[in-house]
Chains A and B, each alone.
Chain A
Amino acid sequence: DAKTTQPPSMDCAEGRAANLPCNHSTISGNEYVYWYRQIHSQGPQYIIHGLKNNETNEMASLIITEDRKSSTLILPHATLRDTAVYYCIVLIYNFNKFYFGSGTKLNVKP
């Protein structure tokens, strides 16, 4: 079962930061938080993952609360091409079974 809760949809203005929240209140100490996105019906694309420290890469930043019960994916300057469904997934390291919930549909508007 999916162990995360995400809002079904969000809007963001082009050029502004998009902040996508995820609740994972039952997360265990050895579970990672992963973010993927799916543009239209293409294959899901890896964005970022983390355990407890904040992470940043060329695509996004991941902020994990100190109690690890929630996290936020930040796209610093959203573009129209960032319109997609964003999935937050928790995963025990090396357990491999990704559980995709319904995700958040991010609509980036001009």
Chain B
Amino acid sequence: DADVTQTPRNRITKTGKRIMLECSQTKGHDRMYWYRQDPGLGLRLIYYSFDVKDINKGEISDGYSVSRQAQAKFSLSLESAIPNQTALYFCATQMGDKSDTQYFGPGTRLTVL
């Protein structure tokens, strides 16, 4: 969905480096999510935010942190990247109380060497 953008789309980095993945949306949605997907597996929730002042851990938050800079921006950081964080990362947005449907960005492919 073009209304949800992620940067970068691809990134190769080295173990120990700090990495930030960015997500922006023009849908005006309050809620935003970060997921990771490993090859052949479904998506797993890392962090989610219901509004700018609300940040919550998902099922696999260890090794990650997030920042909700504005309603439209939600960033995911890997403070010290490790090889098992190599994955496809997706950002998603959701309107809020009136709808549960989540809309996903195109994904960021991250490789940690």
Interface residues of B in 12-47 (CB under 8 A from A): 31, 33, 35, 40-45
Contact B106 A42 (CB under 8 A): yes
Contact A87 B107 (CB under 8 A): no
Contact A43 B104 (CB under 8 A): yes
> B73 contacts the other chain (Cβ, under 8 Å)?
no
A sample of 7 more A-B contacts (CB under 8 A), given A41-B88, A43-B104, is A42-B106, A49-B100, A91-B100, A93-B100, A98-B33, A100-B35, A102-B40
Contact B4 A43 (CB under 8 A): yes
Contact B42 A43 (CB under 8 A): no
Contact B107 A100 (CB under 8 A): no
Complexed CA–CA distance, A91 and B31 (Å): 16
Contact A44 B90 (CB under 8 A): yes
Complexed CA–CA distance, A2 and B94 (Å): 20
Contact of B48 among A2, A49, A93, A97 (CB under 8 A): A97
Complexed CA–CA distance, A43 and B6 (Å): 11
B residues within 8 Å of A by Cβ? Answer: 1, 4, 31, 33, 35, 40-45, 48, 50, 58, 88, 90, 92, 94, 97, 100-107, 109
Complexed CA–CA distance, A87 and B37 (Å): 13
Contact A98 B43 (CB under 8 A): yes
Contact A41 B102 (CB under 8 A): no
A2 and chain B: residue at smallest CB distance = B42
Contact of A97 among B40, B45, B90, B107 (CB under 8 A): B45
Contact B48 A42 (CB under 8 A): no
Task: From known contacts A43-B90, A44-B43, infer whether A96 and B106 are also in contact, taking CB-CB under 8 Å.
Answer: no
- Chain A nearest CB from B21 CB (Å) reads 14
